[in-house]
Amino acid sequence: MTAPGLDDEKIPPAVEQAPSPIDGDITLGAGPYLQGEGQKDGNFSPSRIETPPLSADEIYFPEGGLRAWSVLFGVSPHPSQHNFYFGFVNAWVCKVFQEYYQRTLLKDQSQSSIAWIGSVKYYCLIFFPGLVSGRLFDIGYLRGPLFLASVFFIFCVFMIAQCTEYWQLMLVQGISLGVHFLRFPLGPAMPVVSHYFYKRRGLAYGIVAIGSSAGGTVLPIAVRRLLPVVGFRWTMRIIAFLFVATLGIANITLRRRLPPKNAKGGLFNLPAFRNVPYTLYTASVCIGFLGIYTVLTYIDSAAVAAGIDPDISFYLVSIANASSALGRLGPGLVANRFGPVNILVFFTSIAAIMTFAWPFAKTLGSSLAIAILYGISSGVFVGQFVLPLSKPSMGGQDDIGRRIGMLFSVCSIGALCGPPISGVIHDSAGGYAAVGYYAGSMIILGCALMLASKVVATGRIGGSF
């Protein structure tokens, strides 16, 4: 049984590749797909995959359909792992867990020591393991690692309820919850979506990114409300049961479609950085992360320092997260027309302006305005920064998982170092103005490097890219 239209295509000679494990069926769509030994009725044998590299223009993408939308459902704003995982992470950014630990479990620890639990989990480990997971995805592993990661993650959340010491919380909530993404992190979520969408990929990535916006809005508030009512242990158990349901949906719906590619280069493909546009773009995103999370991390503290009620300033982070939903989805609708890099540069520049202005917001009204505008503009950066990697000038489709993983790994440096650097600057300068200057400048530098990658790739600064 062959894919429709396959008999009309000239089949290139088969290319022998190393054995690759397959997770589930791989369904062929209509278009110029290859049929080699080991393929039968759209299923690929682990022993032999005979598919020479194809460009995105040569591969058929469904752009919709039941399977495509169900995959998107599994990694998007519905009750999925993106929604609640990033909500769980943002509960630390909103200082819900940190303030609770300071008052109860970890009263003998300094504020900076407690802050490292959230920093290790969020700013480094959820990005860095993408290097491993992206490579696993490229060679065919998806559902097995996803299931193991789901079980491990839920186990860790239940175990947080039993923690009473600093080292226990660092091990479980800091390191283990980050390393769980070693098996199924954010890395494969983006490539699996790219198996089903090409022309509508900007929209698809925007829908995926809305999940973190929704979770970042709702879950921190829920945790803050639950803690005084049911206590710490049952709050964590309730969250764990929520993850049982949401990760269950992801395990049911996520399927890869394209055959795996055992591209040369190993785990970390250093020759990929010979591609100058890719290298410049990776550097731009890393530098952007040095500044992009600063407002989200400190906007409530700055509001309290300006005299705003702490019970009100707490919601500024949730308001910024809710506003980011517009930024994560809206630009995805027009990214194919104007170009993802153009969209990113424009809105990320607005985020830089908001970062410069944020320290001077001294009233509730101005803080709300900054939170909303910053949320929308930074949401574009967070939701769409992977999209330019689908451009042919950034590399082929055969190792898109690995290239996304390498991007995440490099970005983890900026995501880890950015907020602590801002904290050091605040302590040294005695205020947030210098912090805004630093973070805004990093974001502007990131935008400049994005434009440089476009110029190198296209030879011009204008036009769609």
Token pair belonging to 33: 């797909």
Mean pLDDT in residue range 377-401? 81
Report d(CA 312, CA 142) in Å as an integer. Answer: 43
- Residue 432 has a pLDDT of 92
Q: Are 438 and 444 contacting, i.e. CB atoms less than 8 angstroms apart?
A: no
N-term to C-term CA, the chain: 39
- pLDDT band for position 37 (50/70/90)? very low
Predicted local confidence at residue 41, as pLDDT: 35
Q: What is the mean pLDDT of residues 417-442?
A: 89
Virtual CA dihedral for 453, 456, 460, 464, nearest 10 degrees?
A: -50
Provide the angle, in degrees to the nearest 10, between the axes of the packed helices 201-253 and 315-338: 120
Q: Is the pLDDT score of 162 beyond 60?
A: yes
**pLDDT (tens digit per residue) in 329-342:** 777 677 777 888 99
Give the pLDDT of residue 76: 60
Q: What is the mean pLDDT of the chain?
A: 75
Going along the chain from its start, the domains and CATH numbers come out as 1-52 (no CATH), 66-458 (1.20.1250.20)
∠ CA 97-383-292, rounded to 5°: 60
Spatial separation of the C-alpha atoms in residues 89 and 150, rounded to whole Å: 16
139 class by beta-carbon count within 10 Å (0-12 exposed, 13-18 middle, 19+ buried): buried
DSSP-derived pairing of the beta strands 39-40 and 43-44: antiparallel
Mean pLDDT in residue range 201-214: 69
Give the tokens for residue 212: 């973190």
Note the pLDDT of residue 460: 87
SS3 label, residue 396: coil
Looking at residue 436, what is its pLDDT?
A: 95
Residue 193 · residue 205 · CB < 8 Å: yes
pLDDT of 32:
33
Cα 30 to Cα 6: distance, rounded to the nearest angstrom: 8
**Phi, psi torsion values for 139, nearest 5 degrees:** -90, 5
Q: Which pLDDT score, from 0 to 100, does residue 153 have? A: 83
Q: Can you tell me the mean pLDDT for 136-163?
A: 82
| Token pair listed for 234 | 């049952």
